[in-house]
Copies of this chain bind each other. A is one copy, B any other.
Amino acid sequence: MNQTLSESKELLFNKAKDFCEDKGVRFTPLRAKVYQILLQEDASIGAYDILDKLKLIEDSAKPPTVYRALDFFLELGLVHKVESTNTFKACHHFGCSHPVQFLICDTCGDVKEISSEGVKETLERQALQSNFKIMTQTIEAHGICNQCQGTGIS
With A83-B84, A135-B143, A136-B141 as known contacts, state yes or no: A130 contacts B118, CB within 8 Å: no
Is A139 touching B123 in the complex (CB atoms < 8 A)?
A: yes
**Which residue of the partner chain, among B106, B116, B135, contacts A135 with CB atoms under 8 Å?**
B106
Interface 1/0 per residue, A135-149 and B, CB below 8 Å: 111111111111001
With A119-B126, A122-B122, A123-B101 as known contacts, state yes or no: A136 contacts B143, CB within 8 Å: yes
**Is A23 positioned at the interface, with any CB of B under 8 Å from its CB?**
no
CB distance from A3 to the nearest CB of B (A): 30
Give the size category of A's interface with B: 20 to 34
**Is A57 positioned at the interface, with any CB of B under 8 Å from its CB?**
no
**Which residues of chain B are within 8 angstroms of A131 by Cβ–Cβ distance?**
145-146, 149
Complex CA–CA separation, A84 to B142 (angstroms) = 15
Complex CA–CA separation, A136 to B123 (angstroms) = 17
**Which residue of the partner chain, among B119, B130, B139, B144, contacts A138 with CB atoms under 8 Å?**
B139
Is B119 touching A144 in the complex (CB atoms < 8 A)?
A: no
**Is A127 positioned at the interface, with any CB of B under 8 Å from its CB?**
yes
Chain B: CB-nearest residue to A118? B122
What is the interface of chain A, defined by CB distance below 8 A to chain B?
83-84, 101, 103, 105-106, 112, 114, 116, 118-119, 122-123, 126-127, 130-146, 149
Q: Told that A101-B123, A106-B135, A112-B130 touch, could you supply 4 new A-B pairs with CB distance under 8 A?
A: A101-B126, A130-B146, A131-B145, A133-B143
